[in-house]
Structure 1
Amino acid sequence: MYNDEQNLYHYTYRKDGSESAPRTENHAAPQEPIHPQSAGPQGPVQEMKPVKKNRMGLKITVLALCCALLGGGVGGGVVYGISGSGSNSSINVSNRAATQVAIKTVDGKTEMTDAEVYAANVNSVVSINVTGTSGTNFFGQEVQTASSGSGFVLTADGYIVTNYHVVKDANTVKVTMYNGDTYDAQYVGGDEDYDIAVIKVDATDLQPVTLGDSDTLNVGDHVLAIGNPLGELTFSMSEGIASSVNRAINVDGTPFNMIQVTASINPGNSGGPLLNSYGEVIGIVSAKYSSYASESVEGLGFAIPINDVVAMIEDIMTNGYVTNKPYLAITGGTMTSQMAAQYRYDVDSGVFVYSVEEGGAADKAGLKMGDVIIKVDDTDITSMEDLTAVKKQYSAGDTATFTIYREGQETTVEVTWDSVPADQQTNQQEATSSSDQNSQYDGSYNPFEDFFRYFYGGGYSGSSAHEAA
């Protein structure tokens, strides 16, 4: 406790504020304590604790000042390093000039980089936008549709190749070039079985592609696709390898021989060119698997080998349709085990012949209603799809040996393929579309009964489940 006496402060540890008498060197007895009552008036008495010096705050303050000075020095050093020429903290910036891609001429001899292939062909690729109608709505009004695809310029005077499914049933077809020029296109002709079509724009001096030899493509070869994925990402290029050069696949019930590729293929790419590393077109991009048997898949793109269709494309340009397309001149359907059991046939697969056109190839060869085609040359036929696929191996005028089942026995006949008449082109496509809608037999209708009603006098109903061949 501090006591104020004659303006002097004295420290005492006693609670009552009294001080002990000063001790002498010989430890004399303490003097009588001075009582406050005899000391006269005093100031207020306050209880205090010993005061200790707090050095922690000082340490923190010193530390903060050191950090501030150090941070300022480092910051100044960084700024100096960036602006100065001799510091190790400088940022390296390349001064390399942009690479100039030379536009080379596709000559079939010069291998190119991907960028050079793109530069050499992008002006030959087109974006195709189509409008059409698809049935009617609840109120009987036609439903307007719009779709997009790709294509490539085949001749300088405006012939363009694409997929048949891109322009099928189109009311209007518009073509956009890489430089932004837009043209109204006219449908020249196409073939659904091969999914090819030719359209024409009124233009001159267009840049055509150079066709290559798809038979020289090997598994593992580098390939590129240019097109318009999703109809919006125009003139995009994707790259990959050829996974297979002779892959048989089925697209909406139609068999195709395809080049399988790993290049990214998406809706809108259909009809665009598949290119090799020499810049040559070796295929027409046509299909993509996104799922199979409820499984998601990736890296499965397909293109039609250009060698398989180049003669047909030229035929379409000249005649509007494929004149040498093989034609058997029958109406047939897939034979099933249910049909065989019900009507006591010994074969439960093949193509059942419902009718034979008079004077056609089948009629000349001796095929009859009720025959079942089970083989063409060395190829087994188990369904109508098999017969459609094997037809693609022949042209009009070729001869093939047919093995057929008739009245409990197998026999062979020689068939010389006819060509599809011009007036049959549209009818055949319509028949194929109708048969696709009835391709899954559910037991509610048995087309085999039509034959027996006709054969035994019941009359023929002419159901759309039959398919021309």
Structure 2
Amino acid sequence: MKRALFTIPLCLILIGVMVTSFVLMGIKPSSSNISQAQKLAEYTKPAVVRILGYSVVGWQFNNPNDPEVEAILSQLNYQSVVGGSGSGAIISSDGYIVTNAHVVEAAQMEDEDIANAAFDQLVTIMADYFQVDYETAYEYMLTYTQYTEIQRVIKVILPGGDILDGEVKSYGAPVNEGKDVAVLKIEGKNLPTLKLGNSDNIQNQDNIWVSGYPAAADSDLLSPDSSLVSSMNAGQISATDKKTEQGSPVIQINAAATHGNSGGPVINEKGEIIGLLTFRGDTVNGQEVQGFNFSVPVNTVKEFTNQAGAKNSSSNTDKLYKEGLELYWGGYYDNALEKFEAVQRLYPNHSEIKKLITNSEQRAGDSKTLWSDYKTIFYIADGVAALLVILLLVFTFAFKPKNRPAPAVAAPQIPPAPPHVPENTIPDLNNDGKIDVQDIILALQEQQKKQQKKDEENDS
């Protein structure tokens, strides 16, 4: 067993090495220092877009004797723009987007309706400029003005700055007419996306977040790039069973929202879309009252994505981006950098990647080691260690040394034992039933007689 004194401790050391390697490989990046709201904001930001839906109406003025009106029309480039802006969310890597129908309504109306809306806008401008009542301006402009063309435009502005044409693939109706949902399509691949949830599972007081591009956040004091950054406001679900006058279900929420948020995603704690913001509560004394906003349930939205043939699918961009964020938040900057660079190769105009790559490079010196990257080396080392343990155990217990026979030792000569003299050799000579002194005396006398007789025989 002398071998075991060496091999057993060595086996224990090798087993300890194997256990340590498995522990190191099992360590995962921890982002416990980042709140759920912060994570959701970063996860969702790249997939929330600004949408412009409008129509451009061209005018012709037929009174050459009115240079003032002609001058105003010239300043307007003989055009009126009808429409507005809203928000939306990319739901597929190939460019399907969900938003409100009313966000793109101005590009969907009939020509006559568009022209009437644009003409009303033009009349209001003239009435204000010439300080006349609306009816007077209306009659005058109706006499001398006619529209020449209508151009419908839908533009989708991505967070990375790209401005792309949007095409309506399915369309409901503005909120006061029906289900306020539209599905758009832009050209693209490997786009960031958001997942559609299930609005049947929502409960009152569930935490939610509203993401989008509120007009109130657009300020002349901000840089142009700031218009590409979406806002996110937190809140809760206030009611789940409300409906519009047309019978369409809506979800009431208390998160702050305003013009421009329309069509923006309402997100649950899992980062899933559970609705699209659609309208606000009534004003009180002409003032907006926050905390009373409504959204179209996502299950209603799915009716239109199905019509459009849109599949809610994530991309490798999403996967790599989220993995990179988890590594970055955990302090594994070198590993995060690899993920972010992979995202940039897939989708170069990702809104967050350049900043994250720069930050990761700057913090590379403080990067932690991600041991799971060395799995192959650990597996090889563990395999070698396991083989050594087996060999050492076999060497210790299976191959015992043969015992050599001890040299023969001559047995000692033992002298023969003297003849055994039985006890009680003196007979009961006096026949009294016991051996006593009398018997000994008689025996001695008998022995003396025999000796005398023997001596006499020898003398003769």
Which of structures 1 and 2 has the larger relative contact order (alpha carbons within 8 angstroms, sep 6+)?
2
The TM-score, its normalising length taken from structure 2, stands at 0.42
Determine which structure has the larger helix proportion and give its number: 2
Determine which structure has the larger strand proportion and give its number: 1
Larger Rg: 2
